Amino acid sequence: MAPATKGSGKKRTRMTPAARREQFIALGRDLIKRVSLDNLSIESVAQAAGVSRALVFHYFSSKQDFHLALAQAQAAELLTVTAPDDSLGEPIDVLRSGMGAFLDFVSEHRHAYTAFLRGAAAGDDEMRRIVEETRTVLADRILDRTDAYGMVRTPTVELAVRGWISFVEEIALSWLDRSEPTRDELLDLVVNSLVAIGGVVDPDGAARRV
C-alpha cells in the first residue's frame, strides 16, 4: 500500500495488475465512443488514467495488442446484452428483444464496431478470429431455436442463418450513417428477414425451389 498523500487524510491503494489492465480497457472503450479507432492513442488512454504512456505499454505490447483487447471486451459485452431472454415467452419476442439490443449496442459503440468489422475484413487475423467467434455465438443462438422459426437445423439452414448474421451486420453499418430508416423500422427488417428465411425452407430443412 502506498503511503498516505500529505494533507489528503487518505491512503491510496495500489491497483492489482488485472484491475489496472481492466481500467485501461474500460477507458479505451469510453474514449472510442467519441473518436475513431485510428485516432485512439495510447497517450490519450494514459492521460485519462493519470499514468505514464510507458505504464500502459507495460500491460499491452503494442497499440495493436491494445486494440485487440478492446475488441475482445467489446465482443463480450455484445454477447451479454444480446443474450436471449426466454422469459419473454414467444420466440419472435425473444428474437426482437435480442436484435433490438444489438442495434442499440451498435449505435452506442459505432466507432469501435465499424473499426473492428472493417479490420476483420481487411485481413487482420486476430481481429477476424474475434469477429468470427462472435458471429458463431450469435448464429448458434438462432440455430438452437430453429423449430421456433419453422425450420429444421440442417447444413442448408446453418448456411442461411450465418449469411443472415452477415446481412444484419452490413445493414447495421450502413444505417449508422443514415437518418432513415428509424431504429424500429430497421428492427422490423432484421426480424422479418429471418422469418422470411423460414418461409423458403422445406420441412426437411432444404431450400424450397420457387
* 115 and 82 assigned to the same domain: yes
Q: With respect to residue 210, please indicate whether it lies within any of the assigned structural domains.
A: no
Mean pLDDT throughout 116-121? 73
Q: Look up residue 133 and give its three cell numbers.
A: 467467434
Q: What is the pLDDT of residues 25-79, one digit of tens each?
A: 999 999 988 888 878 899 999 999 999 999 999 999 999 899 999 999 999 999 9
| 71 and 55 co-located in one domain | no
Q: Which band of pLDDT confidence, cut at 50, 70 and 90, is reported for residue 1? A: very low
Q: What is the mean pLDDT of the chain?
A: 86
7 domain residue, yes or no: no
Mind listing the pLDDT tens digit for each residue in 75-104? 999 999 999 998 998 889 999 999 999 999
In this structure, are 86 and 163 located in the same domain? yes
Residues 153 and 176 in one domain: yes
Query: For residue 56, what is the domain's CATH number?
Result: 1.10.10
Q: Are residues 80 and 168 in the same domain?
A: yes
118 & 77 share domain: yes
Do 100 and 26 lie in a common domain? no
Quote the number of domains for the chain: 2
Whether residue 79 sits in one domain with residue 180: yes
Domain shared by 121 and 96, yes or no: yes
> How many CA atoms are closer than 13 Å to the CA of 160, on its beta-carbon side?
24
pTM for the whole thing? 0.83
Residue 207 lies in a domain: no
- What confidence score (pLDDT) does residue 204 get? 66
Task: Tell me: do 56 and 101 sit in the same domain.
Answer: no
Q: Is 150 helix (H, G, I), strand (E, B) or coil?
A: coil
Residues 191-207 have a mean pLDDT of 78
CA distance linking residue 91 with residue 142, whole number of Å: 10
| Terminal alpha carbon distance of the chain | 72
Q: Is the peptide bond before 3 cis (omega within 30 degrees of 0)?
A: no
| pLDDT over 50 (residue 7) | no
Give me the helices (H) in the chain, please. Answer: 17-31, 42-49, 53-59, 63-81, 91-108, 110-121, 125-143, 155-175, 183-199
Whether residue 127 is contained in a domain is answered as yes
**Could you read off the pLDDT of 139-151 as tens digits, one per residue?**
999 999 888 777 8
User: Residue 190's domain spans which residues?
Assistant: 64-199
The C-alpha atoms of residue 38 and residue 41 are separated, in whole angstroms, by: 8
User: What contacts 166, CB < 8 A, 6 or more positions away?
Assistant: 135
Q: Report if residue 3 sits inside a domain.
A: no
Degrees (nearest 5) of the Cα angle 89, 167, 172? 80
Complete DSSP assignment for 169-195: HHHHHHHTT-S-S-HHHHHHHHHHHHH
Average pLDDT on 192-209 reads 76
Q: What is the pLDDT of residue 52?
A: 94
CATH of the domain at 125: 1.10.357.10
Q: Quick check: is 173 in a domain? A: yes
Cα distances (Å, whole numbers) of residue 76 to 1, 79, 176: 32, 5, 21
Shared domain check, 153 and 78: yes
What is the predicted pLDDT for the residue at 111?
A: 84
What pLDDT was estimated at residue 195?
87
Same domain, residue pair 183 and 107: yes
DSSP 207: B
CA distance 130 to 75: 7
Looking at residue 12, what is its pLDDT?
A: 47
Q: Would you say residue 68 lies in a domain?
A: yes
Residue 5 lies in a domain: no
